[in-house]
């Protein structure tokens, strides 16, 4: 039976984004918007000015939910875009109230940027983990430093690797997110090969791939309109995915998914045992003259 879906009740300020695997989680906003909010491809939080929700308000909302929800959540996702920007003391307060009000919760997760992971000491990372934060989704986007600079990610690939390894050392389940097509036609091969190398260096237990969507109002959309950025077509995107997949060797036990709504071809497998099957699935589409009919159409792709 799927986990209970709490939906988006009136205590949440839209828009609300979460990973596909958090579809049945109770979503709680500790922050509103994104602390960085300058990535050229991202339009998710352009309508929000970043702010931290006052802790008394957060605590009151949690206590009210604990009193009124008949079905208790098994998973909790702390939103918005990078709630890990909060200080260690703020996160510890949040986790204390969550574990007090929902003592049976099985997993608490959060989005994080590598920058805000690196701002915390090893001791702070361990304290936060021991207080109940289990899983961290971290937006790598690319393993290619030039792509990271072009999309204004404001972090190097080496720092991304360091952040993920420090999280793993502190006991977190780390789930990196990469974006297919974010380097455009000019950087596709470098993006793919360097991203695969980055994932091998991290050896994460989970990996998710999204596919670039050009969102009106973003700088990358404007660059594409001016002809300065050439996006990949669907089959070129699959070819890039194949190059990444081909390089994802020697991973311990990494669950790989392309089940996000932005992707053209949903895939899922454990890379240590299913990589060849996943490559074969991609090749089947690439070698099919009617390949376009097997891909998710543009009109139902989404963020």
pLDDT tens track for 264-295: 899 999 999 999 999 999 999 999 877 677 78
Residues 128-154 have a mean pLDDT of 97
Cβ burial of 124 (10 Å; 0-12, 13-18, 19+) is middle
pLDDT tens track for 81-99: 889 999 999 999 999 999 9
pLDDT tens track for 32-46: 999 899 999 998 888
CB atoms within 10 A of CB 239: 17
Q: Is the pLDDT of residue 1 over 70?
A: no
Residue 22 neighbours by CB under 8 Å, 6+ apart: 75, 77, 109
Lookup: tokens for 277: 């099957």
Give the range among 37-46, 88-97, 101-110, 176-185 with minimum mean pLDDT. 37-46
Q: Is the pLDDT of residue 23 over 60?
A: yes
Domains in the chain, start-ordered, CATH in brackets? 1-133 (no CATH), 146-289 (3.30.750)
- Distances from the Cα of 103 to the Cαs of 97, 100, 107, in angstroms? 10, 6, 11
Q: Is the pLDDT of residue 17 over 60?
A: yes
pTM confidence score:
0.92
């Amino acid at each position: 039976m799927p986990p209970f879906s709490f939906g988006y009740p009136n205590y949440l300020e839209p828009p609300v984004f979460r990973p596909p695997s958090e579809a049945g989680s109770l979503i709680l906003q500790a922050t509103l918007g994104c602390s960085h909010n300058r990535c050229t491809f991202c339009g998710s939080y352009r309508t929000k000015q970043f702010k931290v929700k006052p802790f008394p308000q957060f605590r009151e909302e949690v206590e009210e939910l604990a009193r009124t929800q008949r079905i208790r959540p098994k998973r909790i996702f702390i939103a918005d875009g990078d709630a890990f920007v909060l200080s260690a003391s703020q996160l510890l307060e949040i986790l204390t109230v969550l574990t007090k009000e929902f003592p049976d919760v099985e997993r608490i997760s959060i989005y994080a940027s590598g920058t805000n992971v690196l701002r915390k000491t090893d001791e702070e990372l361990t304290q936060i983990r021991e207080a109940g934060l289990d899983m961290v989704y971290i937006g790598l986007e690319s393993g290619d430093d030039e792509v990271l600079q072009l999309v204004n990610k404001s972090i190097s690939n080496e720092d991304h690797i360091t952040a993920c390894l420090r999280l793993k050392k502190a006991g977190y389940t780390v789930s990196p997110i990469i974006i297919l097509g974010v380097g455009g036609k000019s950087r596709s091969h470098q993006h793919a090969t360097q991203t695969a190398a980055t994932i091998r260096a991290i050896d994460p237990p989970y990996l998710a791939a999204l596919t670039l969507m050009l969102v009106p109002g973003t700088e990358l959309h404007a660059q594409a309109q001016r002809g300065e950025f050439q996006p990949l077509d669907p089959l070129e995107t699959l070819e890039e995915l194949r190059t990444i997949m081909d390089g994802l060797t020697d991973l311990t036990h990494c669950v790989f998914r392309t089940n996000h709504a932005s992707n053209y071809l949903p895939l899922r497998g454990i890379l240590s045992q299913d990589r060849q099957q996943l490559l074969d699935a991609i090749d089947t589409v690439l070698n099919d003259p009617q390949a376009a009919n097997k891909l998710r159409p543009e009109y139902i792709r989404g963020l």
